[in-house]
Amino acid sequence: MDLLLIGGVSGSGKNVALAALEDCGYYPVNNLPLPLLLDTAKYLAQAARHRVAIALDVKTGPGLPGLADLIAQLRESGWTVRFLYLEAKTETLVKRFSETRRRHPFSSDARTLTEAIEYERSLLRDVRGLGFVFDTSDLPAAALRRWIKDFVSVDASRLTLLFESFGYKHGVPLDADLMFDVRCLPNPHYEPELAPLTGRDQPVVRFLEAVPEVERMYTDIYSFVAGWLPDYARDNRNYLTVAIGCTGGRHRSVYFVERLAQAFGPAYQVLVRHRELD
């Protein structure tokens, strides 16, 4: 029985994620108060609903206290449980609430929108580390739906590596466990024939592979990740996000992510995300 719990800050895309999971065959439950989680899971199991996605409601209590214990109880009763925590930058959340003219659930006469966002984030601080954190900042809904479908396609019992490229000029990702900076390497953006391309294109690949420092950087990053992966696995981690950043997030970081994903793919479950290309 597969149970996927969705948490995170308001405005981070939980409704989009739940709809994507429904498209994948999950039975969706939205805004469930945490005290009802065990009874709901028991009822759905008896009703032969064996793939369930539940978006948890933080508004009915002070955060999600006891979530770790509830997840342990659900696993003991036969559920395979994954917890997906959606996050986004404060400025992105402010923009989303302003554009939709929705009221933040923790807004009040005493709190501004920004204060409400930070207050909710503080309530969820203790549960953020219980699952896989995914940064939806500036990510279109269609891209989030595609990523959710990739996320549920992997075996939840095995360690999954997510390699993510990004551009520093657009801000660092909030979901990275390990982050590497490759901005010190020659930038294909300054070559007129390479600027419109990406790190997936062979002319950019050839340009970078002709630079000795690129190979040295790749070897160092590969060795670090490969050397520490067994320790992360022993820590009962199901997901590890490795972010590679360059200036714009279109050439050098994309090249490194594609190459690392290919190298680790035969031994691990690997997902790839190119934030700026998405």
- Could you tell me what percent of the chain has a pLDDT over 70? 99
Q: List pLDDT tens digits, range 66-77.
A: 899 999 999 999
Q: Which of 163, 165, 155, 156 is nearest to 131 (CA)?
A: 156
**Would you say residue 272 has pLDDT above 70?**
yes
Provide the total of helices (H) and of strands (E) in the chain, helices listed first. 9, 9
Contact 208, 252 (CB under 8 A): yes
pLDDT confidence band for 61 (50 / 70 / 90): low
Read off the pLDDT band of 16 (50, 70, 90).
very high
Domain spans of the chain, in order of start = 2-153, 161-274
Q: Is residue 101 very low, low, confident or very high in pLDDT (cuts 50, 70, 90)?
A: confident
Give burial (CB, 10 Å; 0-12/13-18/19+) of 141.
Answer: middle
Mean pLDDT of 37-62: 88
For the chain, the farthest-separated pair of C-alpha atoms sits apart, in whole angstroms, at 62
The pTM of the whole model exceeds 0.75: yes
The per-residue pLDDT of the chain, averaged, comes to 91
Q: Could you give the CA distance from residue 278 to residue 276 in angstroms, rounded to a whole number?
A: 5
CA atoms of 60 and 253, how far apart (whole Å):
42
Q: How far apart are the first and last CA of the chain?
A: 32
**Eight-class DSSP state of 108:** B
Could you tell me which CATH number the domain at 2-153 has?
Answer: 3.40.50.300
Decide if pLDDT at 62 tops 70. Answer: no
Read off the pLDDT band of 196 (50, 70, 90).
very high
